[in-house]
Amino acid sequence: MLSLFFVALVSATLLPGGSEVWLARLWCLGEPPLGLWAVATAGNTLGSMINVAMGRYARQFQDRRWFPASPRSLARAERWYHRFGELSLLVSWAPIIGDPLTVLAGVFRLPWWRALAWIVVAKGTRYAVVLLLAQQWLLPLCQ
């Protein structure tokens, strides 16, 4: 299960990963679902909190020429973030948009504990759904 933790952690950073497939594989091998859920949720949440930390740290360099976001795009992101707020972290589980949302939470200084709470709900729900889908559709294939 340690491998699941690391796959889930890497999947939550800006690096690509396939934690859902790994979770389903370990479930098929007979690992306890509650343990799988807890490990995947913890790893993926930690990865997202690393993104939050990167966002907090990166903001101090926004005036540098090499900063990846222009002042205009940063202002647009800020308007968007203030419109949807911290609730947007409920979509932090989603591919492509989830990782940048967690970085934005750091850039715009969402308190750590609130970011953590929203991210745990989002990631935990995703892995619960994956396990439910595995129970429904993968059971015949696992034997």
Q: Taking a C-beta distance cutoff of 8 angstroms, is the pair 123, 41 a contact?
A: yes
Condensed to tens digits (0 to 9), the pLDDT of residues 105-119 reads: 998 889 999 999 999
> Whole-angstrom Cα distance, residue 69 to residue 50?
19
Q: Which residue is it, tokens 């930690």?
A: 46
CA 79 to CA 81: how far, in whole Å?
5
Alpha carbons 12 and 47: distance in angstroms, whole number: 5
Number of Cβ atoms within 10 Å of the Cβ of 34: 9
Tokens at residue 76, please? 């647009």
At 17, the pLDDT band (50, 70, 90 cuts) reads low
Reported pTM: 0.82
Q: What is the CA radius of gyration of the chain?
A: 17
Q: Is the pLDDT of residue 68 over 80?
A: no
pLDDT of 13 over the 60 cut:
yes
Name the most confidently modeled range: 96-100, 120-124, 138-142: 120-124
Q: How far is CA 127 from the centre of its chain?
A: 11
The reported pLDDT for the residue numbered 14 is 57
Place of tokens 């343990």: 35
